[in-house]
Copies of this chain bind each other. A is one copy, B any other.
Amino acid sequence: MMTDSRIYTAALVIIGDEILSGRTQDKNVSQIALWLNIQGIRLREVRVVADDMDAIIEAVNILRARNDYLFTTGGIGPTHDDITVDAIAAALGVEVVIHPEASAVLHAYYETRGGINPGRLRMARVPDGADLIPNKMSGAPGIRHGNIFIMAGVPHITAGMLDALTGTLEGGAPLLSQQIGCWVAESEVAKLLGDTEKHHEGCQIGSYPFFREGKVGANFVVRTTDADKLAECVAALKLGLAELGYDTVDGGI
């Protein structure tokens, strides 16, 4: 496989009072992160902001400038609290316009579902200059404007939009990872973990403790873009744990 030493990064802005109020458990961070990994893009930062123009504008403008890609989820429905398009247009300094193709899609979709109305037509509004992201699940499309990808908040609709984008974004070498599990208190092997990471440049080792069946354990995840380095680092970590008397479980516990 060709490897590209440049790291491509993305940021995600989650827009919604329902997340900040605790009503709704977000599921988009993990699904977008996992999808980005496969595209060779790293999710570098996430912000959750309220349904508030200024908060959305601030987050969008800072994060789009310092990442290759910016994704947003939420706030693109038909109701008064859906202000994402207006906020992003304001952030970009462009007008909000009706996208003719989105309008046609919505007219067709609602023809057998009660007909179009002003609320539904709101979902054809885009920042001027935008393209559409197909949405197979419901009528309303997602929106792409430059390096900004405006997606639905409902996770299965977001999933469909990600599916439509698969393979269309330039990325670098995908981040590879391998997990091993061990029935050990991470604090017993903290020095080994740190030393192993230090001796394997380009690898990060994450340690994720748990308490199950009355026993403490930890999963260790090695992450790098290089398959050979990954194998070497995992082997060194397993050897180090074995020398301290701990068995390991490939893939984690």
The residues of A with any CB-CB pair to B shorter than 8 Å are: 14, 17-27, 29-34, 36-37, 42-51, 55, 77-81, 110, 113-114, 117-120, 122-123, 138, 154, 175, 177, 185-191, 193-194, 197, 204-211, 221, 223
Give the residue name and chain of the B residue nearest to A220 (CB).
B79
Neighbouring B residues of A114 by C-beta, 8 Å: 185, 188
Contact across chains for A208 and B48 when beta carbons are under 8 A apart: no
SS class of chain A's interface: helix, strand, loop or mixed? mixed
- In this complex, the member of A32, A77, A117, A206 whose beta carbon has the largest number of chain B beta carbons within 10 angstroms is A206
Contact across chains for A21 and B47 when beta carbons are under 8 A apart: no
Contact across chains for B190 and A80 when beta carbons are under 8 A apart: yes
Neighbouring B residues of A123 by C-beta, 8 Å: 187
Among B31, B37, B55, B113, the residue within 8 A (CB) of A21 is: B37
Cα distance A80–B21 when bound, in Å?
33
A141 to chain B minimum Cβ distance, whole angstroms, is: 14
Contact across chains for A190 and B44 when beta carbons are under 8 A apart: no
A253 to chain B minimum Cβ distance, whole angstroms, is: 14
> With A80-B194, A113-B185, A190-B122 in contact, do A33 and B50 touch (Cβ < 8 Å)?
no
Give the residue name and chain of the B residue nearest to A179 (CB).
B23
Contact across chains for A17 and B223 when beta carbons are under 8 A apart: yes
Cα distance A207–B146 when bound, in Å?
29
Contact across chains for B26 and A26 when beta carbons are under 8 A apart: yes
> With A27-B25, A78-B190, A187-B120 in contact, do A18 and B49 touch (Cβ < 8 Å)?
no
Contact across chains for A190 and B21 when beta carbons are under 8 A apart: no
Among B20, B77, B193, the residue within 8 A (CB) of A45 is: B20
A122 to chain B minimum Cβ distance, whole angstroms, is: 7
Among B23, B29, B138, B211, the residue within 8 A (CB) of A48 is: B29
Contact across chains for B46 and A45 when beta carbons are under 8 A apart: no
Contact across chains for B207 and A79 when beta carbons are under 8 A apart: yes
Question: What are 15 A-B contacts with C-beta separation under 8 Å?
Answer: A19-B29, A20-B45, A21-B37, A21-B177, A21-B223, A23-B206, A25-B27, A29-B48, A77-B186, A78-B186, A79-B186, A79-B193, A80-B194, A80-B205, A117-B188
